[in-house]
Structure 1
């Protein structure tokens, strides 16, 4: 059973609070995150607009929640997909014929030939503003870490007496994976997943900075920071909100990854 350290619990708490806000905000205040009200431009936080309005009079309480939903969904999808592909490929590379291991090593080398963000930019340029294209691009990069860890652990275990005994007794590959490989791989995945989630969110925000990521009127943290920067003197709270949200969600993931399990 996975036991979390105090640092990891702190990160999990911050992430839970952000998720609760992202999902619960639309239930607490009616409206739409994209509806413009030009008579309420740059309104400071008040009883009607709890976090004020942006330069188009849109409700920041709802827009920030939508942006967090998008970021957290991207992180979750990338982590799940990357882990599934990486662990599967890593175990197969370590247990199959040597030619398959060499093939996978060549694939990894080709992907690593370009910096990760550059590769994501190339995919984003193919279909600008597509959430799913960004998801594919980020997952294409992140599965490599899961692959490397899974292959290294599996290669070490294939020659262990426990695995060889199971093979001699006629147990299938699924049983061997579930009984021997997975218990050794799983503890390492939590840290990789936490840092991977933070990187996925930062990558999507970075694309928003250069206007090749999620496009308006959808709310995305990186895009919101760029859009609001021009108003930092007239409405400083407007720029601070997405900055703080981005910092908190990345901090939560980093804390969950840095803490050591007991």
Structure 2
């Protein structure tokens, strides 16, 4: 992608107000993920029973839970934990899935058959069920949660990378490079991967959203991040017995999940509109009228 094309893509992306809002939200979330331990006004496990179940106020912006712990501080640190799990697990899925997909799509033959049958088997299981099976085998915890989510999203990237690679490998510039005796690694790194980056970037954004949901679901079931480390899913689980007494215990962790997932999904939609040639042509045509 040339510099003018990158500039044009950036302008199209920023021309969409919904995408701009999603980027702004993600900047805030990224800031929280980096600085949560420093900006949290209270310790995440500071118990203050006399002030338990206090509603939102100037002292406790999001109120307090059943033990008097500050919900705002716990939401900040829990968001940091969710983002860390999501980013690392999706990065794992990208590295493994793209490697498998690119090699499979480029080489074809029996290697493609073997890789894709394994991917098909993994696709046969619902995402959350497969993640639960991995955690049940390896035991709950942060590392296991990251590994489980990374494993269940690897087939998605493998499929996307394989389909894109199969369409690029038949392009004339790849055939010419191959006829000149260029090595396979050079072709993959110079011609294949850069030309399939668009769909992978979009899929990464969408997968980050679903990774956050998966981490929250596992923590809600007690199989994700373990106490005393706060997690958004676990905070919602703990609030079940206090819904009528302290609505804020469930609302604010749930709102944090909602905002993060919505921001990543909206960004993914915006990136798809810019990076997909068909969608981009339609947008440019509408703007030209």
- The alignment's TM-score, normalised by the length of structure 2, stands at 0.84
1:251 aligns with: 262
2:192 to 150, 175, 181: 181
Deviates more, 1:118-127 or 1:192-201: 118-127
Q: Deviations over 1:160-194 (max 9, x none)?
A: 22111112223223331233212321111122111
Note if contact 2:153-2:207 (Cα within 8 Å) is conserved in structure 1: yes
Structure 2: stretches of 5+ with no match in the other structure = 1-5, 275-279, 281-289
State the Cα distance separating 1:52 from its structure 2 match. 2.1
1:209 to 212, 217, 220: 220
d(CA) in 2 for partners of 1:222 and 1:185? 35
Bigger RCO (CA 8 Å, 6+ sep): 1
1:103 aligns with: 114
State the Cα distance separating 1:97 from its structure 2 match. 5.5
Q: Closer, same or farther in 2 for the Cα pair 1:239/1:157, shift >3 Å?
A: closer
- Where in structure 2 are the equivalents of 1:47-62 lying within 5 Å? 47-62=58-73
d(CA) in 2 for partners of 1:110 and 1:138? 16
Structure 1: stretches of 5+ with no match in the other structure = none
d(CA) in 1 for partners of 2:40 and 2:163? 50
Q: Deviations over 1:126-169 (max 9, x none)?
A: 34431111111111111112111211222222232211111222
d(CA) in 1 for partners of 2:56 and 2:168? 58
Give the 3-state SS of the residue equivalent to 1:205 in structure 2. Answer: helix
State the Cα distance separating 1:254 from its structure 2 match. 0.9
Q: Closer, same or farther in 2 for the Cα pair 1:218/1:179, shift >3 Å?
A: same
State the Cα distance separating 1:201 from its structure 2 match. 0.9
Matched, 1:66 2:77: yes
State the Cα distance separating 1:64 from its structure 2 match. 0.5
Deviates more, 1:210-219 or 1:142-151: 210-219
Kindly report the root-mean-square deviation, in angstroms, between the aligned alpha carbons of the 2 structures.
1.9
Note if contact 2:32-2:80 (Cα within 8 Å) is conserved in structure 1: no
Note if contact 1:225-1:243 (Cα within 8 Å) is conserved in structure 2: yes
